[in-house]
Structure 1
Amino acid sequence: SHRRRNFPALAIGISYGNGQTVPARLAAGDTGPHAEGLHHLLGIPAVQCIAAFRDSMFQLWAPRLYSHYREHIESMHQALLHLSRNFQRSIFSYATFNFSPNIQTFAHQDTLNLAYSWCSITALGQFDHTKGGHLVLWDARMIIKFPAGFTVLILPSAILHSNIAVQQDEERASFTQYCAGGIFQ
């Protein structure tokens, strides 16, 4: 259970907040009880392809913001050589896997993310996207059909967002990537 709703979610990556004095790998993702499973997920070729695709999307649609990210992320990695990346071909420093059977979130904002940063969300599972699984952007008053396999970039700290449940006999999961705001201080 967590603030977004009651479904299993596991995070892994570089964090900087909650009293940390320097950026560090999230301990739960690297040494916690689910670390082996998370590292297995990071090594799956299809997951690596999704991460690389998102990186390309970001670079294509927001090249100046992407350059800003690259400058800060590369600088951090040069100063803190021990920090490993989740993916070699992705600028995002953090990933969360939200597991099935039915990911439905409360309306929320991700205020610990960089305020002007994008979050990449990929819907996974088997569900009828015309009947459920929609992405809701409350401030924009938009409800967006969000089929499995599709990826979207949103500003999660600026936009109140959620998603709608899928049908009872269907499954939906998601894979998100983003950056902690503290990394950019």
Structure 2
Amino acid sequence: FQSFAPKLYVYTENAMDLIFKHNNELHREFPGAFASAEYDLGDLGSALQLQDRDLLQGWRALTALGTYDSRYGGDLVLWDDGFVVRFPPGAIVLFPAALMCYLFVGVRPGEKQYMFSQSSTAGLYQY
């Protein structure tokens, strides 16, 4: 993120710095410009998602985790653009999730697909 969108990275990093300077009871859980991280340990298949609370011009980072064969499922579908992206375990993708609906193709029975995502909610930038 820092290497391909350096101005946006600096913008988000500066916003986080201001928030933490304003309230010293808050602390960063991990380094970087993203304000939040979450694990999705449930069934990811076929649920259309739009992260409309994300910073509009910001990025969401998704990391695929689990034990599944990406030749048979687990693809990331960027619904609005009509892209289907093979998304094997360990892959990371960054995209403007506030602007795009997306979903995951289900995996085969007995396989598991999990997701680790990082993002920043737009409301933080109004703080």
TM range (shorter): over 0.9
Q: How does 1:81-100 map to 2 (within 5 A)?
A: 81-87=24-30, 89-100=31-42
Q: Does structure 1 retain, via aligned residues, the 8 Å contact 2:12–2:33? A: yes
Question: Which amino acid is the alignment partner of residue 89 of structure 2?
Answer: A
Task: Give the secondary structure class of the aligned counterpart of 2:123.
Answer: helix
Q: How does 1:23-172 map to 2 (within 5 A)?
A: 58-87=1-30, 89-100=31-42, 102-172=43-113
Q: CA deviation at 1:105?
A: 4.6
What percentage of residue pairs aligned between the two structures are identical? Answer: 29
Question: Which amino acid is the alignment partner of residue 64 of structure 1?
Answer: K
* Number of equivalent positions: 126
RMSD of aligned Cα (Å): 1.1
Task: Give the secondary structure class of the aligned counterpart of 1:77.
Answer: helix
Runs of at least 4 residues of structure 1 off by over 3 A? Answer: none
Question: Which amino acid is the alignment partner of residue 38 of structure 2?
Answer: T
Distance in 1 (alpha carbons) for counterparts of 2:93 and 2:71: 17
TM-score scaled by length of structure 2: 0.94
Bigger proportion of residues as helix: 1
Task: Give the secondary structure class of the aligned counterpart of 2:38.
Answer: strand
Q: CA deviation at 1:73?
A: 0.8
What do residues 26-74 of structure 1 show as CA deviations (whole Å, max 9, x unaligned)?
Answer: xxxxxxxxxxxxxxxxxxxxxxxxxxxxxxxx10111010011011111
Task: Give the secondary structure class of the aligned counterpart of 2:3.
Answer: helix
Where does the alignment leave 5 or more consecutive residues of structure 2 unmatched? none
Distance in 2 (alpha carbons) for counterparts of 1:117 and 1:84: 21
What do residues 106-162 of structure 1 show as CA deviations (whole Å, max 9, x unaligned)?
Answer: 212111111111000000011110110000001111000000001110111101111
Q: Does structure 1 retain, via aligned residues, the 8 Å contact 2:55–2:122? A: yes
Find the counterpart in structure 2 of residue 174 from structure 1: 115
Question: Which amino acid is the alignment partner of residue 93 of structure 1?
Answer: A
